[in-house]
Structure 1
Amino acid sequence: MTFYQELQLNQAGSKKVIRESETTQEKWRHILIYLLKIAITVGFCFVFVTLYSLIFGAGNSIVGVVVLLHLLVFKNADLRIDAKQSAGLLALFFGIMTVAPHLANLANPFVGLLIHAAAISILILFGCHEPRMFNQSTLVLSYLLLYGYDVSGTEYLSRLAGMAVGALLVCAVFYKNHRHQTYDLRAQDILPAFTLTHMRSKWQLCQILCVPLVLFLSELFGLPRAMWAGIAAMSAILPVMDDMHARVRGRILGNIAGVLCFFVLYTYLPSAIYAYIGVIGGIGVGFSAKYGWQAVFNTFGALAIASQLYGVPAAMGLRVFQNVFGVLFALGFCLIFHWVMQRGEKTQVTAS
């Protein structure tokens, strides 16, 4: 494996290479490459988001995060659909993420529910045809982030420009990296392939129904940071229920641990360091190969922003509540959904 190839590995891949080192010298070489990769990634992310904030305004720094997330993921991942059509779909997704979250913020919770369901349907059906790619962790997450950090007026006009530039960047990088790959599946095959007898379609429908419902209930009861509950639900919904139980436990325990760690950092670090707690969380995520630890460190950046709006105690309580609500609602919803599906399938078998 070359130096460049090793830099392209994810956390789990790098740690596997380190574990399988045959000599101490080889092990330290792989450790140093791993540390260098994290430093490069964190530095690039910081510079990229900072530039986006300077060009399109501080209120649109989240656009920089969304574009960066798509670049990092889709330079390697794909949609399992014809490359040209996939690039077009990514452009469509950017259009949806630019308009639908903003419209949902302007609407009441009932209309917002319909907007979310329509938008997430397109993202899930056409962007997540292969659940093992975990594309929902990019597409739906980005949608929810833009919903949670909405802007208006001239800032929204800047958001339109920032998302347009981002779409061009992402589509260009995607097509450059994937143009030689061929897939028989085309966009027009997606809807005919949707059938509730297939595990993939059941999982997709759970995402399409459950995530908007979680947002709806949070908004209906006036709970701040509804996107946190939506993100928690999205991340917990997996095709296999046994995997989902483990994911729910990891999300709850990870967020509680993250809140406690944030409180310790906020209490004992100098106030001048507060602005960098989110960066510390980003570095922690870079070292984390397991979902539970990623949940711990993802909490830092979210609380660093929310604590400025609600105060530290309220932000901590809200973070735990919204995440527990999101994953437990998702678990209960999916259990009921699959029970209903199984009953329907048994009824069909009996009738035939």
Structure 2
Amino acid sequence: MTFYQELQLNQSGSKSLIKNSSDRRQKLRHTAIYIFKVFLTLAFCMTFVIAFSALFGQENSIVGVVFLLFVMVFRFADFGIHTSHSILCLLIIFAVLAFAPRLTNMAGPFLSLMINFGCILLMMILGCHNVLMSNHSTILLGYLLLQGYDVSGGPYRQRLAALALGALVTCLVFYHTHRKASYKRGLKDLFLEFHPDSTRTRWQLVIALGISTILFIADLIHLPRSMWAGIAAMSVMLPFKDDMKYRVKARIPGNIIGSLLFILLYFFLPPQLYAYIGILGGIGVGFSAAYGWQSVFNTFGALSIAVGLFGLPGAVILRIINNIFGALYGLIFHKLFHKSAETLLLRNGKTGT
């Protein structure tokens, strides 16, 4: 395997390569490349987001994060349909990202519930037909981040321009890497294959209903930083039950441990180094293949921002509450939805309808 090919591996791939190395020299070489890749990726991401913020304003730095996520993910992942139709799907998804998060922040709880449900379901149908690609984790994360870091006025107009640039670059990268892919399905088939008897359709519905209702509840009780609850619910509501249970068991302790470690760092580090805690979290995520450890280190970046808004105790409490609420709600909602769906299907089968 060449140096460049090793750089393309994810954490699991790199760690597996190191583990299966036949001799000490090869193990050291693969380890050195892995460490270099983590720091190179972090340096590139930081440079990109800083440059993006300078161009479109500090309030829109989150758009740089979403932009980068989409390009990095859809360089490899596709939608399982004709490439030209996939590009149309991407454009529609970016249009949703541009307007729906802003509308939900302007509307009341009930109208926001309907907007969230409709938009999330649309994005799930367009971008998540192949469940094994896990495209929802990128698309819905982007949606929730833009909703949580809302802007208005001039910064919102800059956000629209930033998302337009993101759509253009993502589509160009997608076309370049997937132009030779051949699929029989087209855009129309995504809707034709949307049926309640389908396991995929039921998963798409449970994601749309689960996330929209948890955001609705958080809105009603005025829970700050509700996007964390939405992200937690989205993260655990997977199409496969065993994976979902593992995520719940890993996410809740991971966020509690991450919050405790953040508190220790906050107390022991001098104030001038606080800004680097988020960077430390990014390095930790880069070295983590297990979901639990990713949850631990993701907490660092989230709390680094939230401390400035809520103070240390408030940020930590909100982080833990939102993640426990989101993870447990996702698990319970998923079970109740599927039990209800199975009951309805059995009843319809008996009545012949």
TM over 0.5: yes
For 2:84, the aligned partner's letter is K
Q: Give, in whole Å, the separation in 2 of the partners of 1:11 and 1:158.
A: 35
Q: Give, in whole Å, the separation in 2 of the partners of 1:92 and 1:196.
A: 24
Give the corresponding residue for 2:184.
Answer: 184
Give the corresponding residue for 1:35.
Answer: 35
Give the corresponding residue for 2:259.
Answer: 259
Q: Residues 137-216 of structure 1: matches in 2 within 5 Å?
A: 137-216=137-216
1:346 CA displacement: 2.6
**Deviations, residues 60-81 of structure 1 (Å, cap 9, x unaligned):** 0000000001111111111111
Q: Give, in whole Å, the separation in 2 of the partners of 1:348 and 1:339.
A: 14
Unaligned runs of 5+ in 1: none
Give the corresponding residue for 1:88.
Answer: 88
Q: Give, in whole Å, the separation in 1 of the partners of 2:170 and 2:145.
A: 18
Give the corresponding residue for 2:334.
Answer: 334
Give the corresponding residue for 2:286.
Answer: 286
1:130 CA displacement: 1.1
For 2:87, the aligned partner's letter is A
Moved more, 47-56 or 74-83: 74-83
Give the corresponding residue for 2:325.
Answer: 325
TM-score norm. by structure 1 comes to 0.98
For 1:201, the aligned partner's letter is T
For residues 67 and 341 of structure 1, do their structure 2 counterparts lie closer, same or farther at Cα, with a shift above 3 Å needed?
A: same
**Deviations, residues 164-219 of structure 1 (Å, cap 9, x unaligned):** 11111111111111111111111110111011222111111100111010111101
Partner of 2:85: helix, strand, or coil?
Answer: helix
Moved more, 52-61 or 246-255: 246-255
Q: Give, in whole Å, the separation in 1 of the partners of 2:88 and 2:346.
A: 40
Q: Give, in whole Å, the separation in 1 of the partners of 2:351 and 2:282.
A: 55
Unaligned runs of 5+ in 2: none
Partner of 2:67: helix, strand, or coil?
Answer: helix
For 1:251, the aligned partner's letter is R
TM-score norm. by structure 2 comes to 0.98
**Deviations, residues 102-125 of structure 1 (Å, cap 9, x unaligned):** 010011111111111111111111
Give the corresponding residue for 1:127.
Answer: 127
**Deviations, residues 136-172 of structure 1 (Å, cap 9, x unaligned):** 1100000000000000111111101111111111111
Give the corresponding residue for 2:231.
Answer: 231
For 2:73, the aligned partner's letter is V
Give the corresponding residue for 2:61.
Answer: 61
Aligned residues: 352
Give the corresponding residue for 2:18.
Answer: 18
For residues 349 and 111 of structure 1, do their structure 2 counterparts lie closer, same or farther at Cα, with a shift above 3 Å needed?
A: closer
Partner of 1:239: helix, strand, or coil?
Answer: coil
What is the RMSD computed on CA atoms of the aligned residues?
A: 1.0
Q: Give, in whole Å, the separation in 2 of the partners of 1:328 and 1:179.
A: 41
Q: Give, in whole Å, the separation in 2 of the partners of 1:351 and 1:119.
A: 33
